């Protein structure tokens, strides 16, 4: 389990340094502020409270945007790691393959398909003796 | 008891990807503390062999043992004693060199202090707190090397460690490797620049099309190839000395300079004549370069083990 935590820690650190996170935060903040301002306007006529309109708009925003951003970042976690060549390097370390994959997941955002990539599982578990 | 066993042993190893045979019937054994170079053109199977030794892929045929174990079994103890520098690894540019090395150190159960010591050793001490994105190619390569050196590996696999490095860094790298081999680490490095390996490795394994085409020390390989020696003569006058005779091998380079090649056996006789002749103003002896040697073996001119 130690291996998983180590990789997860590194992934989170990488994610925080990643410009995607900053960009996504800024984008969300801008959209949320816009919604808050616009949402307040029609409140009187429709009859719904200003707060309800803002809450509904914000939640529909996050439904659209959050999975998209999560997909982007987790794509970078696994595919970026492979393209840089560090994935193979990690696999040559005393770690089982499932530990590497599991460790990649807790990036700020998660691609549900990533854990079941069949090619990563070929070759079976490596470091049975450690942690786990 | 383990000391006299070969650190890395391959027997009839083959790896096929579909119809492509990346590696065919490769057998060799590397004893402890040896420095060996795998030489071959791009796609000759050098990287595939290293991946096989690391257990990242499994051989289609044959067997291999690394540190006495089957690498594909992935025993943690074996992996901890193996260092690998992949051919083109680029670490995440957002992290600092120190963060990256400490991360890898913890994966190998090494204290963080050993990571810092290694950074100093490869000359990255002052840049340790900078982001990898700001590193030069040489610095990135040195960070990769530091990563491979973590945990005092008993076998070190370096995939083209010197490509793109300046001569000074390259020299430093070979010095570190010599030091490690002196300490009993087996070093296997791959390269396609034979020239720079002269005097740096004890043994060269030349791969061509996935096969071992030659295996031996530099001297043995030169002897096997029996390539002609080239003699470059600067003439004092305009006339060619008649003893030069066989004009077929003669080549005029500049106005007064001619070059001829002769088999190694006739070299001394030719030299005696040239030094006795007043019409020869200067003389250069050009032994076959490693690149010629390499080309010779790749053309299939050498019989492995002959």
Number of domains comprising chain A? 1
CA distance A90 to A21: 24
pLDDT single digits (tens) A45-55: 556 677 777 78
Q: Is residue B32 part of a domain?
A: yes
Q: Between A63 and A104, whose confidence is greater? A: A63
Closest Cα to residue A69, out of A10, A21, A12?
A21
Q: Is residue B92 part of a domain?
A: no
Q: Is residue A14 part of a domain?
A: yes
Judgement on whether residues B220 and B302 belong to the same structural domain of the protein: yes
Q: What percent of chain B has pLDDT over 70?
A: 92
Q: Is residue A46 part of a domain?
A: yes
Mean pLDDT of A40-48: 59
CA distance A59 to A132: 38
Instruction: Return the structure tokens found at A3.
Output: 């291996």
Residues 6+ positions from B29 with CB-CB distance below 8 Å: B6, B8, B9, B10
Q: Is residue A126 part of a domain?
A: no
The answer to whether the Cβ–Cβ distance between B95 and A13 falls below 8 Å is yes
Judgement on whether residues B159 and B274 belong to the same structural domain of the protein: no
CA distance B222 to B296: 10
CA distances from A128 to A88, A104, B164 (A): 19, 19, 38
Mean pLDDT of B18-46: 88
Judgement on whether residues B61 and B166 belong to the same structural domain of the protein: yes
Instruction: Tell me which residue range forms the domain holding B298.
Output: 1-81+153-227+289-306
Model confidence at B274, in pLDDT bands (50, 70, 90)? Answer: confident
Q: Between B266 and B243, whose confidence is greater? A: B266
Judgement on whether residues B197 and B276 belong to the same structural domain of the protein: no
Judgement on whether residues B167 and B73 belong to the same structural domain of the protein: yes
Nearest to A91 among B56, B87, B99 (CB): B56
Q: What's the N-to-C CA distance of chain B in angstroms?
A: 33
Does pLDDT of B182 surpass 60?
yes
Model confidence at A38, in pLDDT bands (50, 70, 90)? Answer: confident
The answer to whether the Cβ–Cβ distance between B77 and A94 falls below 8 Å is yes
Number of domains comprising chain B? 2
Unique residue bearing structure tokens 């190998």? B108
Judgement on whether residues B166 and B280 belong to the same structural domain of the protein: no
Torsion region of B82: left, alpha or beta (phi above 0 gives left; psi -120 to 50 gives alpha): beta
Torsion region of B95: left, alpha or beta (phi above 0 gives left; psi -120 to 50 gives alpha): beta
Closest Cα to residue B50, out of B231, B188, B257?
B188
Q: Is residue B132 part of a domain?
A: no
Q: A26-30, B132-136, B222-226: lowest mean pLDDT where? A: B222-226
SS3 B92: coil
Q: Between A17 and B65, whose confidence is greater? A: B65
For residue B188, the model assigns a pLDDT of 93
CA distance B59 to B26: 11
Q: If you count residue pairs, one on A and one on B, with CB atoms under 8 Å apart, how many are there?
A: 80
For residue A46, the model assigns a pLDDT of 55
Query: By the CB < 8 Å criterion, does A123 face chain B?
Result: yes
Nearest to B74 among A7, A10, A127 (CB): A127
Q: A127-131, B75-79, B234-238: lowest mean pLDDT where? A: A127-131
Does pLDDT of A43 surpass 70?
no
Mean pLDDT of B231-240: 76
Q: Is residue A40 part of a domain?
A: yes
Model confidence at B19, in pLDDT bands (50, 70, 90)? Answer: confident
The answer to whether the Cβ–Cβ distance between B104 and A93 falls below 8 Å is yes
CA distance B228 to B261: 6
Instruction: Tell me which residue range forms the domain holding A80.
Output: 2-121
For residue B207, the model assigns a pLDDT of 87
The answer to whether the Cβ–Cβ distance between B107 and A6 falls below 8 Å is yes
Judgement on whether residues B276 and B186 belong to the same structural domain of the protein: no
Unique residue bearing structure tokens 């740096």? B200
Closest Cα to residue B122, out of B205, B179, B192, B62?
B179
For residue A44, the model assigns a pLDDT of 56
For B281, what's the count of Cα atoms within 13 Å in the CB-facing half-sphere? 10
Q: Is residue B102 part of a domain?
A: no
Q: Is residue B106 part of a domain?
A: no
Helical packing angle, A2-17 and A19-40, nearest 10°: 60
Q: Looking at chain A, which residue has its C-alpha nearest residue B157?
A: A92
Q: Is residue B25 part of a domain?
A: yes
Model confidence at A115, in pLDDT bands (50, 70, 90)? Answer: very low
Mutate to test the interface with B, among A94, A121, A131 (most CBs of B within 10 A): A94
Does pLDDT of B273 surpass 90?
no
For residue A61, the model assigns a pLDDT of 81
Q: Between B189 and A109, whose confidence is greater? A: B189
Strand boundaries in chain B, DSSP class E: 8-17, 20-30, 35-39, 61-66, 82-85, 155-159, 186-191, 203-208, 211-216, 229-235, 250-252, 257-262, 280-286
Q: Is residue B157 part of a domain?
A: yes
- The pLDDT mean for chain B works out to 83
For residue A45, the model assigns a pLDDT of 57
Mutate to test the interface with A, among B53, B72, B79, B108 (most CBs of A within 10 A): B79
For CA atoms B128, B131, B132, B133, the dihedral sign is negative
Mutate to test the interface with A, among B92, B106, B147 (most CBs of A within 10 A): B92
Q: Looking at chain A, which residue has its C-alpha nearest residue B77?
A: A94
Q: Is residue B128 part of a domain?
A: no
For residue B43, the domain's CATH number is 3.40.50.300
Query: By the CB < 8 Å criterion, does A96 face chain B?
Result: yes
Nearest to A89 among B58, B76, B84 (CB): B84
């Amino acid at each position: 389990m130690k291996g998983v935590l180590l990789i997860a820690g590194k992934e989170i650190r990488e994610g925080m340094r990643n410009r995607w996170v900053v960009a996504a935060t800024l984008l969300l903040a801008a959209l949320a502020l816009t919604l808050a301002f616009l949402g307040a306007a029609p409140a009187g006529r429709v009859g719904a409270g200003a707060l309800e309109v803002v809450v509904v708009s914000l939640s529909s925003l996050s439904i659209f945007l959050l999975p998209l951003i999560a997909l982007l970042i987790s794509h970078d976690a696994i595919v970026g790691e492979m393209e840089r060549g560090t994935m193979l390097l990690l696999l040559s370390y005393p770690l089982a393959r499932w530990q590497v994959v599991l460790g990649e997941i807790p990036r700020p955002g998660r691609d549900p398909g990533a854990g079941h990539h069949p090619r990563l599982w070929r070759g079976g578990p490596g470091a049975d003796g450690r942690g786990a | 008891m383990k000391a006299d066993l070969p650190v890395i042993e391959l027997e009839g190893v083959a790896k096929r990807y579909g119809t492509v045979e990346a590696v065919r019937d490769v057998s060799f054994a590397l004893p402890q503390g040896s420095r060996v170079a795998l030489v071959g053109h791009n796609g000759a199977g050098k990287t595939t062999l290293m991946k096989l030794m690391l257990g990242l892929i499994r051989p289609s045929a044959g067997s291999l043992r690394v540190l006495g174990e089957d690498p594909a079994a992935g025993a943690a103890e074996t992996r901890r004693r193996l260092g690998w520098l992949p051919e083109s690894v680029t670490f995440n540019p957002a992290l600092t060199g120190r963060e990256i090395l400490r991360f890898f150190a913890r994966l190998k159960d090494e204290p963080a202090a050993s990571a810092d010591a290694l950074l100093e050793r490869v000359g990255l001490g002052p840049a340790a707190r900078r982001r990898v994105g700001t590193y030069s190619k040489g610095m990135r390569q040195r960070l990769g090397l530091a990563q491979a050196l973590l945990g005092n590996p008993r076998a070190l696999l370096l995939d083209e460690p010197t490509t793109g490095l300046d001569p000074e860094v390259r020299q430093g790298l070979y010095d570190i490797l010599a030091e490690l081999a002196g300490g009993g680490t087996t070093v296997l490095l791959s390269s396609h620049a034979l020239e720079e390996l002269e005097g740096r490795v004890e043994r060269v394994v030349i791969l061509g099309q996935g096969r071992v085409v030659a295996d031996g020390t530099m001297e043995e390989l030169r002897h096997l190839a029996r390539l002609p020696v080239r003699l470059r003569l600067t003439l004092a006058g305009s006339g060619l000395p008649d003893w030069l005779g066989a004009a077929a091998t003669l080549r005029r380079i500049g106005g007064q300079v001619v070059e001829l090649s002769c088999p190694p056996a006739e070299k001394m006789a030719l030299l005696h004549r040239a030094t006795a002749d007043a019409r020869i103003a200067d003389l250069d002896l050009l032994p076959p370069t490693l690149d010629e040697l390499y080309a010779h073996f790749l053309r299939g001119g050498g019989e492995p083990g002959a």
